[in-house]
Structure 1
Amino acid sequence: MAAEGKHLSLTFKAIAYSAGGFLVAWAAIKLIDTYFDPTLLADTKGWLLRAWNWLLLETPIPNWSLLMIIAALISTLTVAIYFYRTTDGTYGELHEIERKVYKMNNPQFPQLTDNQTLLMEALAYHANFRKIANLDSVCKLVSLSKLEVEDGLKQLQAKHLVKQKVTRGTFGATTFELTLAGKDYALERFELT
C-alpha cells in the first residue's frame, strides 16, 4: 500500500523538456555547421582586440572616457527628445485649460449687462459689414427703445468700448463705432465672418 503513494520522479513533462532541449541543440549545431563561417570568429576577435587596444591608449583624455562622455550625451539627448514628444500634447492641453480658467477668473473686459451685450453685437454687426451705425439702425437691430439704446451706448462709452462721432454741417449726424478695445471684445465674444 505504501508503494501506491509513490510517484515516478521521471514524469512525462520532464521527458518532453529534455527531448525538446535535445532537438533544439541538434538543430542549432546543424545550422551553425551549415551557415556559420569560422573565419568570421577570427575576424571578430581581431577587431575586438584592436578596439580594446585603442581604448587603452595613453592620450591626454583616455579614449574610454571620451566614449563614455559621448554615450552620456547621446543618452541625455534621447531621454529629452522622448519626454518632449510624449508630454508635448499633454502640456498643450493643460496650458489651454489653464488659460480658459484664468480668463474666466480674470476677465480682460468688463462684465456687460444683457442690453449692453446686445448693443455690442449690433455694433459688431455694423462694423463687420462696414455699415454706419447710427441711433436708428442700432434700435432696429436690438428692438429696444431709443432711450434704452442711448443709455446703453453711454455706459459702453464710459467703459471705453464704443466711441461716438458727431459731424456738423448740413448733413450732420451722430454715429457710433467700436474702439480698439471694443473690437477686441467683439472678436473674442462674437462669431464674425
Structure 2
Amino acid sequence: MINNTEHAIGSLNRLDSSQLSALHSQLDSARQKLESLKASAESALNSVQDEVDRIAGNEAAIEKRKYETKLASLNNQLRDAKLYQDTQSINSLKEAIRLTEQLYKQKLTAIKTENKNQTQAQNANISSPVSASQQTVVVKLELGSQSANIQTNEAGKDDLLRLLQQSKLTTI
C-alpha cells in the first residue's frame, strides 16, 4: 500500500499545472453530479413520502418536510452570502428564515385545529347517530281522487301500515 501511495505521489508530481487544472475541474464536475444525484434522490423520496402521508391524512408530516427543505435551502444561501460578505443578502435571508419559521408554525396550528374539528365532528356522528325511529318518512295516502301526505318517523309509518292492513284498507 505504501508503494501505491508513493507511486501516486510520484505521478502527481509529474503533472503540470494544466493537467492539474483539468483534474480539479473533473473532480468539481463529479462532486456537482453527486450532489445533484443526492438532491434528486431526496426529492423523489420526499415526493413519495408526501403521497403516503396525504393518503394517511398526515398533513403535519408533509408540512414538516416542506419546511425542512425550504429552511435548508435558505441556510445554504445564507452560508454563501456570508462567504461573499453580502450584507443585504444576509439580512434578506435571515428575514426569509424568520418568516419561514413563522409560516410553518401557523400551518401546524391550522392543521391541528382542522384535525381537532374533524375529530369532534366524527365523535358527534358516532355518539349521536340518527336512529331509524328518528328519520322523517312521508307516507302518501290516496283514496280515489284525494290524497294526503303524512310525515312521521319509521316506527310511525310501520304502525300506520299495520293499522291499515288490519283494517283491510291497503295492500302492500
TM-score over 0.5 (shorter chain): no
* TM-score, normalised via structure 2 length: 0.29
* TM-score, normalised via structure 1 length: 0.26
Q: Tell me which protein shows more helix as a share of its residues.
A: 2
* Bigger RCO (CA 8 Å, 6+ sep): 1
